Structure 1
């Protein structure tokens, strides 16, 4: 059996974000012998705001950064979108990254992992409409991670990420199994 590749796309670019530690924890807990999991950090990808002349649905990419983004994304069979809830929405860099491409997303399995003081339900709800528009295969396992103030330090980072995220471990195993079932 071959190994399937999925990517966790870190949707926040805010300097004080907690998402890299969540992403690393997810990667460790999602990865199996049949499932390779990479991290894509939108802060490092640094996509400009929709600067291609043609619509992404045309697939006529002319700018080097869009071609590079296309090449990166097409190397994966599925995605986990990791993002915080900002004022009941999701971060603009994530929307931009999705909107820069079109057919590359079609029919690919996707899971959402939102987080925030209340888990990010509203942000996940808003993003689900975009994923439907892109015709992605929305998985049944999606996580809403509630950040508890007593588990965070003065800089808003986990005191102990493993302990804080432990309640979500079963859900991540279920997500891993769902990806493995769909991709094999």
Structure 2
């Protein structure tokens, strides 16, 4: 049954995990290296990945012998390293000869990464699917808007403003990674 309250809660959780505002510095950097990012392609692919994973993610993991706790811990590590990149200003992810940044790394893993997918599995256990789908679509609209306006946002905030936002969201992402790890490592040890 559809609920605006649940949808709002899920939207906020996904917004924090996707962290598109905190990713603006990464997007700006990728745009400067590639010259162009296909915003429509990136958001559509991310939406397809997230909605597909909502319905068949757990089955796919079971098929290859990975439980949700293992996937969540792996997602926590990915988020942890992304957060370190943001906080320390270092670069861990390197793409060999990237021709476009629309699919990798923007659609996956930046928007629909392991953290987002793990969160979707957790949300599926707690909330109605219709509310999760609406929350995904709301976030996709926000992601598309940020991708389209990243150049203007960069000019508005300046490099110092982007640096501050990147560090703040890096700390938030680090906290989410630690929480995700702590919540799921117990399941691995049992």
Shorter-chain TM-score tier: under 0.3
Task: Answer 1 or 2: higher relative contact order, Cα 8 Å, separation at least 6.
Answer: 2
The alignment's TM-score, normalised by the length of structure 2, stands at 0.26
Q: Which has the higher strand share?
A: 1
Q: Which has the higher helix share?
A: 2
